[in-house]
């Protein structure tokens, strides 16, 4: 029943929102480059199959049920809230999951110690290095 309520709620939303920000802000006055605020990409819905190209500064947030997301490139974080989502990512520093039956497969991490930072709440969630 809980899964159906979550799926129905997410289905009603059914919105894919992509919030973007510029990567770098250049200050020519004193020749400095300042890193912009991290970008958040939000994917919400049910049964979405999507490919996202990350450039290193993004947080990718997936909310919903039965989504299949492939993230190419490097990103700061992947955050999942939902049921039965499958995410494959090339390079990620942090993974957090809330829900049931979610799977994240990652190829590598760019953290200083070489270990991805994880936080998992729920049951049957799995994070695997491939």
In terms of phi and psi (left: phi > 0; alpha: psi -120 to 50; beta: otherwise), the region of 53 is beta
Give the C-alpha separation, 67 to 74, whole Å.
20
Instruction: Find out whether 44 and 13 touch, Cβ atoms under 8 Å.
Output: yes
The architecture CATH gives domain 2-129:
3 Solenoid (2.160)
Each domain of the chain, given as residue ranges in start order, spans 2-129
Give CA separation, 63 vs 29, 108, 117, in Å.
42, 23, 20
Name the nearest CA neighbour of 17 among 56, 61, 47, 55.
61
Instruction: Find out whether 89 and 71 touch, Cβ atoms under 8 Å.
Output: yes
Predicted confidence (pLDDT) per residue in 111-121, tens digit:
999 999 999 99
- pTM listed for this prediction: 0.71
Predicted confidence (pLDDT) per residue in 71-120, tens digit:
999 999 999 999 999 999 999 999 999 999 999 999 999 999 999 999 99
Predicted confidence (pLDDT) per residue in 15-65, tens digit:
333 333 333 333 334 444 444 556 999 999 999 999 999 999 999 999 999
């Amino acid at each position: 029943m809980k899964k159906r309520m979550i799926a129905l709620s997410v289905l009603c939303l059914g919105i894919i929102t992509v919030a973007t920000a510029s990567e770098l802000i250049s200050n020519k006055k004193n020749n400095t480059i300042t890193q912009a605020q991290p970008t958040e990409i939000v994917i919400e819905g049910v049964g979405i199959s999507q490919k996202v190209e990350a450039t290193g500064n993004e947080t990718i947030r997936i909310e919903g049920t039965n989504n299949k997301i492939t993230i190419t490139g490097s990103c700061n974080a992947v955050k999942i809230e939902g049921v039965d989502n499958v995410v494959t990512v090339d390079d990620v520093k942090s993974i957090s999951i809330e829900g049931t039956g979610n799977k994240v497969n990652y190829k590598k991490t760019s953290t200083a110690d070489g270990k991805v930072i994880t936080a998992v709440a729920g049951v049957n969630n799995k994070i695997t290095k491939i």
